[in-house]
Chain A
Amino acid sequence: MAENKRWGMVVDLDRCSGCQACVVACQAENNVPLNTQDIVLQARSIQWIRVERYWSGIDQNDPTKVKAGYLPVMCVQCTNAPCEPVCPVYAAYHNQEGLNVQVYNRCVGTRYCANNCPYHARYFNYWEREWPEPLNFQLNPDVTVRSKGIMEKCTFCVQRIRRAERRAKFEGRTVRDQEFTTACAQACPTGALVFGNLADPTSLVSQLAKDPRHYRLLEHLGTDPGVYHLKKVDPNYHGEESGH
């Protein structure tokens, strides 16, 4: 693999069944706070990856035409990230491997970044979150626990990236394709989520990103996301083919 890195992901919507395994796996890996009922009711729950569900074919007279489509959405790690330039304290910055990284200790909670993110991928900690003992034993020591007033979002499991890179360095080699993956992709039963290095043309994720079904969310905004979605296939779809 080339040393050049651009971590990215492919989400195959035709494989995704909406099962939510990715969502819980992410919560477990990344110390995402508990979303209690009052928090969900206030629409302030934190899910670094969420599975959006869209209705289509709604016909009041014929429920059989209704379809529900699933769209997993996480931070798409834009190359031209709208969240980064608005941060007054450089808590949101771009690293050498294509990640939009959030430095929690710099964050002062202006929420400008969330306001500027067109993907609703950034989440603010409105409260000091708690894990009643001994539930805190489960917390991943590789991942910082965020406190009140801090913005957080998907990191592409940066701790796993670093672990794999360190291991590769100790062994005098480069990181191999599919040697490791993110928590969401590792759990995903249907194989809808594939993570890897987009800068390596031989990687699985690069190959999948060339699929004719590929598109990127809100691509017209020019954010150059690092996440490619592959269109859902509906053999009975008679509308105009969407896309660009």
Chain B
Amino acid sequence: MAASRRDFLKIAGVSSAGAVAFGGCMIPARDMKVESPTRIPEDLVTGRDNWYATAGTRGNGIIVRVMEGRALKVEGNPDHPVNQGKSNAWDQALVQLLYHPDRYQRPMRLNGARGSGSYSDLSWNDALAQAAEAIRGATGGRLVLMTPPLSGPSLVAVEAFVRAFGGSHLTLDLNDDAVYRAAVQRVFGADVLPDYDLPRANTVLSIGADWLGAWGNPVRQGIGYGQFRQGKATRGYLIHIDSRFSVTAANADEYIPCRPGTEGLVALSIAHALIAGNFGDRGVYPSGGAQALAAFSGNQVAQQTGVPAERITAIAQRLGQNGPAVVIGGGSAGAHTNGLFNLVQILNLNILLGAVGAPGGVRLNPAPPTIPNVQSPFRSGASSFTTWQGEMIRLRQVGSNAVVLVYNANPVFALPPSLGVRDVLLNAGRVISFSTLPDETSELADLILPSHSPLEEWGVEAPAAPPGFQVVTFKQPVVNRVFDTRQFGDTILDLMRAIGGEVVRSVPFPTIRDGARLFAQPLFDRRAGSVTADSFDLFLNGVQQRGGWWSTTTTQAATPRPVGFASAPEPARIAGDDSYPFFLQPFMSPTLGSPEGAQLPWLQQTPDPVTTMAWGTWVEINRRVANQLGVKEGDVVVVESPNGRIEAPVYINYGTPDWTVAIPVGNGHTAGGRWQKGVGVNPIGILADLTDQQTGALAWAATKVRLTRTGRSVPLSKLEGYVPAVQLEHAEALKITNKDS
């Protein structure tokens, strides 16, 4: 007879560890529902729980509620200075990643042809032995490891491993904003991304960066936005310039569409208007004053940018007169062949406005703490697209001698097919996956050594954009492992031991958990910051309980820098001639914008804020364009670029500019878990492989497309329609006032 839920609780109750290992013994679903027929939910007596702090997404600190060894709920860590107790859909959905039924559950070996999906189980000992055998001779540049950007001890282990074989480590992150990082370096001279003091700003101008959507850290920016709007005496005013009607555009007081690739010109014309109006910090005016930028006056560039000159003047007046003002640039503005040019001009406006280091402006960040004997302890962004291109060319030459290792990176899906990643993997000698969930890349693996999900891992991270001072987040497992998986870094260390020789001695710790101790030591030695203790063990307990260590005194003073506006325009190259009339603007939504977004039902089913669409891919065009094409909502259209074609239904987004076709990224998988595979289409498949000239980042907003009707129509899975899209006059729900209260 199966144990009832009550029996189970008795068993669990005698466990003193607090965390109970389930292994193969799962609670039958029916037993979850047993309850007294007379019990009223509000009278339910709740059990005891424990909360464990660890790292969430995008530099957030989270706490996880654990009962009887199960992780139930993620909340923001109220102590953590980045997200201050708040969280978003991605953080919340980490428990679904932990308990995803389609996770790789144990090591496996391929039986048939590569990609056949026929695997048989292996023990960890056999899997490690076979992987070590495959890797042992892969020296001289034959080995390549593909991962997301790593951090802390895992990064140290991986770098040592790759170095030992003379191989390469490629990193991939769909949300990586390499051009923005380069622009921050160029304009502010900072290696760490800055923090924007939104709560104290009175005017925010953002260009390209969907900072209320999926760009940067939307939780931290969301906290700032709430205070910017209603947290002080004067309500903040938001102007957003973008080639697409995004979440930030939807929330802006003024949304101004601009032609893709001209964002730098827009910034220069605003700079011209600021100087002409005698606004901002006159001490940094370029020699020659406004005349130096006369070629970029609103009138001169309006034709190219699509932004009327009078709006440029109005923006400059508001920025100049309604300070503190801050300017944010990133996202689509940097996703062009002139991406760095665009972002440098945009971020330079902050220097012109005197916003760097000022209240309500740009807060520069210090470098993360140094760790003795560790060269680059924390993440430093993803590999550039040109790096990937170069490596793929090289690997094609290496051919069947190549050994490709992949961990939670899915380049077959996330990079344009012209790169040929799939062919490289199909022709490689060995492909070994360490991924948590199946996907297009992992399905080509010969061996699978599955890794833990983030809630089962040890680790140390530093946020990409700290809150103005040093922050180190400590990761710890909040429950025992759910399946027979191992932490990726530990698997790499095990492989190094199995291979033997000098390799393993280059890593100063035997496990990632020990590595976390190593990272904690120099923080303990400081005897300062958010956690101090008499002994190291107490200190380690402290940082793990609080979710990390931070020191509000480790700030970075802003040093005066000259404003470096360009003297000549740098036009964007666009793929597609005049027969392709629309600019394709792929975008990340706040729901599907995490790497595993499409795998998790909560993120698939949650409506995109602007369109209310869920579960699928859609094509956003405005009403006028739809009328011209003769299509209505739900009509399937062919979206064709010089590089390929996809089909998806139309959604009428009233704010979309005439020249834009916007398509969300995340769906369109041909492999993966049950909630991912076969849903929607992938716009990355039709992107041209243009890159930013200076950083080598993919210019993902630089492809033009044309639309043609298919004559077919499908119902759209969306929230809109459950309630009317436009309010009824007699029953107005959303009310608006112009009172600045």
Contact = CB atoms under 8 A, between A and B. Distances in A.
A54 B738 contact: no
A15 interface: yes
A51 B227 CA distance: 20
A236 B733 contact: no
B725 A145 contact: no
A54 B657 contact: no
B434 interface: no
A35 B603 CA distance: 10
B89 A24 contact: yes
Contacts of B654: 55, 58, 63, 66
A135 B45 CA distance: 23
A66 B733 contact: no
Nearest to B254: A236
Nearest to B83: A189
A190 B720 CA distance: 23
Contacts of A29: 73
B94 to A, nearest CB: 10
Contacts of B92: 21, 24-25, 27-28, 187
A10 to B, nearest CB: 11
Given A71-B734, A140-B73, A187-B86, A55 B33 contact: no
Contact of A189 (B71, B226, B610, B615): B226
A163 B679 CA distance: 40
A102 B43 CA distance: 12
Contacts of A134: 22, 26, 99, 101, 482
Contacts, number: 342
Interface of A: 12-15, 17-21, 23-25, 27-29, 34-37, 40-41, 43, 45, 47, 50-56, 58, 60-61, 63-64, 66-71, 73, 95, 99, 101-105, 120, 130-145, 147, 155, 158-159, 161-163, 166, 183, 186-192, 211-213, 215, 217-218, 229-239, 241-243
B88 A234 contact: no
B428 to A, nearest CB: 33
B252 to A, nearest CB: 9
A68 B655 contact: yes
B44 A19 contact: no
B226 A20 contact: no
B655 A71 contact: no
B741 A213 contact: yes
Contacts of A215: 735
Interface string B89-124: 100110110111100000000000000000000000
B226 A137 contact: no
B247 A64 contact: no
Chain A at the B interface: SS class: loop
B606 A231 contact: no
B609 A37 contact: no
Contact of B247 (A18, A45, A73, A95): A18
Chain B at the A interface: SS class: loop
The list of the 7 closest CB pairs from A to B, nearest first, reads: A189-B222, A190-B226, A68-B250, A18-B609, A37-B615, A66-B655, A237-B738
Given A135-B100, A235-B740, A186 B85 contact: yes
Nearest to B33: A145
Contact of B101 (A45, A133, A212): A133
Given A34-B602, A60-B627, A218-B731, 19 more contacts: A14-B230, A14-B235, A34-B605, A37-B679, A45-B719, A47-B719, A102-B41, A134-B99, A137-B22, A141-B46, A162-B46, A186-B85, A189-B222, A190-B222, A191-B227, A233-B229, A233-B736, A237-B736, A241-B739
Nearest to B658: A63
Contact of B720 (A20, A37, A53, A131): A53
A96 B311 CA distance: 56
The residue in B83, B602, B679 that gathers the most chain A C-beta atoms within 10 A of its C-beta is B602
A191 B237 CA distance: 18
Given A20-B606, A28-B73, A234 B93 contact: no
B142 interface: no
B72 interface: yes
Nearest to B605: A35
Contacts of A239: 736
Nearest to A23: B606
Given A17-B222, A53-B720, A105-B37, A95 B42 contact: yes
